[in-house]
């Protein structure tokens, strides 16, 4: 009787074992001492809509290509931590949840090419330091973070071609010390100053970068269709900012009611985007200067702040009548393709013991340059 029970028990475990061993539409088998799960090419009527549950935990290669999987959930591969090769090409994947891949630290080959991925969980790659081959081509990805591949020192093959990348930040490939083959063709590159490095890098690197004739500019209009490697030397200059003040804030006392003029002069090519940022008390104001439109004498800020600040297209910021409320940081930022520069001043009202709150006005020391305004029209009278 006991023997029979044991037999039933053994059979039962065996059945459970089979059930847990391999998902229904997959075939699992050992080859060369490794366990493989083949879940591809099931035929049109059996295409997988999602990653099957129950992949064997000792599996080292999983073939899921050519199915109709749309979504990778963070738990999809939770049990298969030994996997070294994961093939997911030719599916309909749009979304990969963050964390789906991060624990697959043994992965040597990852193929997610020919899907519809827009947002890839780049932070998951940080952990995949064993990767040798990464295929991400033929997707819809737009943004490639600069540090996306920063830990992949063993990566030999990388394909990001046929995506929607408009640029690749300088340094994106610099940690890939084992890289020998890089596919970047058929992306709509914006051939601006920030991509100029790529032309020079492709010309000198030992990495094989195939299909140069398909690595072309999509913008600007005058370079459209031109090979990135043929783009002429562009006129590129990193932005620079100089902020000056009248009166000179570092050398003068600033008394109540004084008019302070801050001038922001910028350099750079392409012409940088300029903005003033004002932090007074616990308030913060951003005044981006329009880059288009004619120069005129009208302040660009709206009425709600005009009694305190006047910001002009030419880069000047005027505090018509300084009071304690305008104490704070005034910083001017210039940004172009090559980077960002910032300059600023700290405005602090000089508190003089004679000036009590009941007697507004000011009594500048004789040697300081003070500017005052008679009327809000901002005509300046310079008193020395």
Ligand X SMILES: *[C@@H]1O[C@H](CO)[C@@H](O)[C@H](O)[C@H]1NC(C)=O
Task: Please select the residue that binds ligand X; options are 30, 200, 211, 342, rule is CB under 6 A.
Answer: 30
Q: Which is nearer to ligand X, 25 or 226 (CB)?
A: 25
Task: Please select the residue that binds ligand X; options are 42, 106, 242, 263, rule is CB under 6 A.
Answer: 263
Stretch that binds ligand X, among 50-58, 189-197, 210-218, 228-236 (CB under 6 A): 50-58
Query: Rule CB under 6 A: is residue 294 a binding residue for ligand X?
Result: no
| Smallest distance, ligand X to C-beta of residue 363, A | 26
Q: Which is nearer to ligand X, 37 or 231 (CB)?
A: 37
Q: What are phi and psi of 316, to 5 degrees?
A: -85, 140
Stretch that binds ligand X, among 174-182, 200-208, 217-225, 267-275 (CB under 6 A): 200-208
Query: Rule CB under 6 A: is residue 53 a binding residue for ligand X?
Result: yes
| Smallest distance, ligand X to C-beta of residue 29, A | 8
Half-sphere exposure of residue 370: CA atoms within 13 angstroms, side-chain side: 22
Query: Rule CB under 6 A: is residue 99 a binding residue for ligand X?
Result: yes
Q: Which is nearer to ligand X, 122 or 188 (CB)?
A: 122
| Smallest distance, ligand X to C-beta of residue 79, A | 4
Q: Which is nearer to ligand X, 169 or 265 (CB)?
A: 265
Q: How far apart are CA 316 and CA 91, in angstroms?
A: 56
Stretch that binds ligand X, among 5-13, 39-47, 267-275, 308-316 (CB under 6 A): 308-316
Q: What are phi and psi of 124, to 5 degrees?
A: -65, -30
Q: For the residues of 228-295, what is the DSSP string, one character each?
A: GGGPPPP--EEEEEEEEEES-TTTS---TT--EEEEEEEEEESPPEEEEEEEETTEEEEEEPPSSS--
Query: Rule CB under 6 A: is residue 257 a binding residue for ligand X?
Result: no
Q: What are phi and psi of 198, to 5 degrees?
A: -65, -40
The contact pattern for ligand X, residues 213-242, with x = CB under 6 A and - = no contact, is: ------------------------------
Query: Rule CB under 6 A: is residue 58 a binding residue for ligand X?
Result: yes
What 8-state DSSP symbol labels residue 38?
E
Query: Rule CB under 6 A: is residue 205 a binding residue for ligand X?
Result: yes
Residue for token pair 């508190």? 351
Q: How far apart are CA 117 and CA 71, in angstroms?
A: 10
Q: Are 345 and 245 in contact, with CB atoms under 8 Å apart?
A: yes
- Minimal CB distance to ligand X: which residue? 102
Residues 323-382 that bind ligand X (CB under 6 A): 328-329, 346, 378
Burial class (CB in 10 A: 0-12, 13-18, 19+), 292: exposed
What is the spatial order of strands in the sheet that 157-159 belongs to? 27-31, 34-38, 59-63, 85-87, 109-111, 133-135, 157-159, 181-183
Residue for token pair 């932070």? 123
| Smallest distance, ligand X to C-beta of residue 285, A | 12
Residues 122-151 that bind ligand X (CB under 6 A): 127
| Smallest distance, ligand X to C-beta of residue 51, A | 7
Task: Please select the residue that binds ligand X; options are 221, 235, 250, 297, rule is CB under 6 A.
Answer: 297
> Applying CB under 6 A, what is the total number of residues that bind ligand X?
31
Helix (H, G, I), strand (E, B), or coil: what is residue 58? coil
Q: For the residues of 114-154, what is the DSSP string, one character each?
A: SS--SB--HHHHTT-TT-SEEE--SS------TTTTTT-TT
Residues that bind ligand X in the complex, under the rule CB under 6 A: 21, 30, 33-35, 53-56, 58, 75, 78-79, 99, 102-103, 105, 127, 204-206, 263, 279, 297, 312, 314, 316, 328-329, 346, 378
């Amino acid at each position: 009787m006991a023997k029979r029970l044991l037999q039933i028990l053994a059979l039962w475990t065996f059945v459970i074992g089979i059930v847990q061993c391999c998902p229904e539409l997959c075939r699992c088998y050992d080859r060369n001492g490794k366990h493989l799960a083949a879940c591809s090419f099931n035929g049109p009527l059996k295409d997988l809509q999602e990653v099957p549950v129950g992949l064997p935990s000792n599996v080292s290669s999983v073939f899921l290509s050519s199915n109709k999987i749309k979504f990778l959930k963070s738990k999809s591969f939770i049990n298969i931590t030994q996997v070294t090769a994961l093939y997911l090409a030719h599916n309909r994947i749009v979304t990969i949840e963050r964390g789906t891949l991060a624990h697959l630290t043994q992965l040597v080959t990852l193929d997610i090419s020919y899907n519809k991925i827009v947002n890839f969980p780049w932070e998951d790659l940080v952990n995949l330091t064993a990767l040798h081959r990464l295929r991400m081509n033929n997707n819809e990805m737009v943004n490639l973070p600069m540090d996306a591949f920063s830990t992949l020192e063993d990566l030999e093959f990388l394909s990001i071609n046929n995506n929607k990348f408009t640029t690749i930040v300088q340094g994106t490939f610099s940690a890939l010390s084992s890289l020998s083959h890089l596919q970047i063709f058929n992306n709509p590159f914006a051939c601006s100053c920030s991509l100029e490095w790529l032309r020079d890098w492709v010309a000198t690197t030992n990495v094989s970068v195939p299909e140069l004739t398909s690595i072309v500019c999509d913008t600007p209009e005058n370079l459209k269709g031109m090979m990135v490697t043929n783009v002429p030397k562009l006129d590129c200059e990193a932005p620079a900012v100089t902020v000056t003040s009248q009166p000179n804030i570092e050398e003068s006392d600033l008394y109540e009611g004084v008019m302070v003029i801050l001038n922001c002069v910028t350099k750079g090519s392409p012409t940088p985007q300029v903005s003033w940022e004002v932090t007074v008390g616990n308030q913060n104001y951003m005044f981006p200067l329009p880059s288009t439109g004619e120069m005129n004498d009208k302040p660009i800020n709206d009425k709600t702040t005009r009694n305190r600040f006047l910001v002009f297209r030419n880069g000047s910021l005027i505090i018509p009548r300084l009071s304690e409320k305008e104490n704070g940081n005034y910083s001017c930022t210039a940004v172009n393709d090559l980077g960002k520069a910032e300059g600023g001043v700290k405005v602090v009202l000089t508190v003089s013991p004679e000036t009590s709150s009941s007697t507004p006005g000011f009594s500048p020391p004789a040697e300081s340059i003070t500017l005052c305004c008679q009327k809000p029209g901002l005509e300046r009278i310079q008193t020395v």
